[in-house]
Structure 1
Amino acid sequence: MVVNPHILLVGEIGYLEPLLLLLSNAGAKILNSDEILLQEDGKTPLLPAMTNLIECAYNSMGHIDTLLFCDRVRTDETECPDAGEIVRQTLDSVSRLLVSVRCLALKMIESESPGQIIIVCDTSAVAGRHNCLISSTVGGALIGMSKSLAKELGRYRIAVNIICLGVMEEIDPQNEYTPAEAMMLKVSGLGKIGSLKHLANNIMHLAGNEHWLNGQILHINDGLVM
């Protein structure tokens, strides 16, 4: 069991700051890649930047157990978003995931150490929710890629799993379930709003490497998807 996992985090900073605190309090050592990779001029190529970052991480932290890729929060307009924007955001997320996995998995394979890759996306990727066209498209692409990566990397003892998030009180303060979703959850739900603590607990479970999961989707959404 990995008690204090070393986690490389790639994702949106907006809701990650409180999540980082929860993970740190649980014992994880975290390197937030966005604090290093985001350049003001936006001209630094992602592949060499990520390769250099992981080399520095191994030099300073000794190793990395887990890649945590978060791509959960996307606020879509009520109108149908522009097709070009959907394509742009999907390609952006998929390329960031692919480059991150490529760089870190090579290091894990080279060191012959087991590892975890955890992808966090919106539950609309599998449920199809109102006004979530971008979220569902991006999430669906990430899930498809993750399952293929799980097939390829499992032989090297690198597990790839997905967490699909429903409504979280810190992220969705308006608790925006549709009437149909709210009615369904009255019947099958646990009767409480989700929080980032639930997400952090599930991340620590996967990062702890005491599971037998690969290529699986964990639905943290109060029974919205079963």
Structure 2
Amino acid sequence: MNNKTALITGSSRGIGRATAKLLANNGYNVLINYNKSEKEAMNLYNELKSQGCSVSIYKADVSNVNEVNSMVKFCIGQFGRIDVLVNNAGIAKDQLFTDITNEDWNEIMSVNLNSVFYTTQIALKYMIPEHSGKIINISSIWGLVGGSYEVHYSTSKAAIIGMSKALAKELGPSNIQVNCIAPGAIQTDMLSNVSNEILENLKDETPLMRLGTPEDIANCVLFLASDNSNFITGQVISPNGGFVII
């Protein structure tokens, strides 16, 4: 056991689930966060507990600052510290820009961006006194290059990149590393409504000729969470199979 604690938002499914499993199996105490996917979260919790992993679970809407505050306090109560924060929770919508309502815009910003602000700011109350910590924010390739029909989503993910870079400069003297992961097309529920034709086109446009898996992203999180990344901060790593090369 490495006795380090990781709080992973939106960890009941997809990238968050794979990350929770990988970190737990590598000796981290893991707090599984979910909001609506209780069944999936409980299945993950029970699976990891049966394997002897040190895990706990907490329901919180991370777009609500009061619920985030309670979740972080719960994590501290369970494990005594937070060493790694993975801001993974997010939603996406395909919409023409002219069809986006104020409610659509605010929902995307609340879940994708405000949640990162709330969770990070509250977690830092515990990281800064320890002069140690890793903050890993999950963005998207569309935050790097923009995606048509996803202007609000792209905007929220681009903002996360800017936040990560600025915060890395601010927190460097406190020995806290802040990095960003911008996944490409990953086989998660976000692609469940995409046609097979579009999925095949995505594969064809990817030099490695496949879609990414949640485990591809989880492996990147594990590296950034580890001591092997102690001299890396303010960076954007994009596991996308070569779909976007900058």
Does TM-score exceed 0.5, indicating one fold? yes
Q: How many residue pairs were aligned?
A: 215
Does residue 21 of structure 1 match 2:17? Answer: no
Q: Give 2:117's aligned residue.
A: 98
- TM-score for the superposition, normalised by structure 2: 0.75
Q: Give 1:6's aligned residue.
A: 5
Partner letter of residue 215 of structure 2?
A: K
Q: Give 1:109's aligned residue.
A: 128
CA contact under 8 A between 1:122 and 1:135: conserved in structure 2?
Answer: no
Task: From the superposition, tell whether residues 51 and 219 of structure 1 become closer, same or farther in structure 2 (CA, over 3 Å).
Answer: same
Q: C-alpha distance in 2, partners of 1:170/1:82?
A: 24
CA contact under 8 A between 2:19 and 2:219: conserved in structure 1?
Answer: no
Does residue 216 of structure 1 match 2:216? Answer: no
Per-residue deviation, 1:130: 3.4
CA contact under 8 A between 1:5 and 1:28: conserved in structure 2?
Answer: yes
Per-residue deviation, 1:169: 2.5
Q: C-alpha distance in 2, partners of 1:190/1:92?
A: 31
Partner letter of residue 219 of structure 1?
A: S
CA contact under 8 A between 1:117 and 1:160: conserved in structure 2?
Answer: yes
Q: Calculate percent identity across the aligned residue pairs.
A: 23
Per-residue deviation, 1:170: 3.6
CA contact under 8 A between 2:5 and 2:83: conserved in structure 1?
Answer: yes
CA contact under 8 A between 2:90 and 2:112: conserved in structure 1?
Answer: no
Task: From the superposition, tell whether residues 132 and 3 of structure 1 become closer, same or farther in structure 2 (CA, over 3 Å).
Answer: farther
Q: C-alpha distance in 2, partners of 1:222/1:72?
A: 22
Please list every run of 5 or more consecutive structure 1 residues that lacks an aligned counterpart in the other structure: none
Partner letter of residue 159 of structure 2?
A: A
Please list every run of 5 or more consecutive structure 2 residues that lacks an aligned counterpart in the other structure: 35-57
2:87 to 52, 55, 69: 69
Structure 2 matches for 1:40-79, cutoff 5 A? 46-47=65-66, 49-77=67-95
Q: Deviations over 1:57-82 (max 9, x none)?
A: 22321221111001455131367441
2:143 to 119, 125, 139: 125
CA contact under 8 A between 1:90 and 1:141: conserved in structure 2?
Answer: no
Structure 2 matches for 1:127-206, cutoff 5 A? 127-171=145-189, 172=191, 176=198, 179=201, 184-185=205-206, 189-206=207-224
Q: C-alpha distance in 2, partners of 1:111/1:78?
A: 46
Q: Deviations over 1:155-205 (max 9, x none)?
A: 1011111101111224436574595x65553xxx22333111111111110
Partner letter of residue 144 of structure 1?
A: G
Task: From the superposition, tell whether residues 209 and 158 of structure 1 become closer, same or farther in structure 2 (CA, over 3 Å).
Answer: same
Q: C-alpha distance in 2, partners of 1:182/1:31?
A: 34
CA contact under 8 A between 1:73 and 1:122: conserved in structure 2?
Answer: no
Does residue 36 of structure 1 match 2:59? Answer: yes
Structure with the bigger RCO (C-alpha within 8 Å, sep 6+) is 1
CA RMSD of aligned residues (A): 2.9
Q: Deviations over 1:37-70 (max 9, x none)?
A: 249xx9xx624x4334323322321221111001
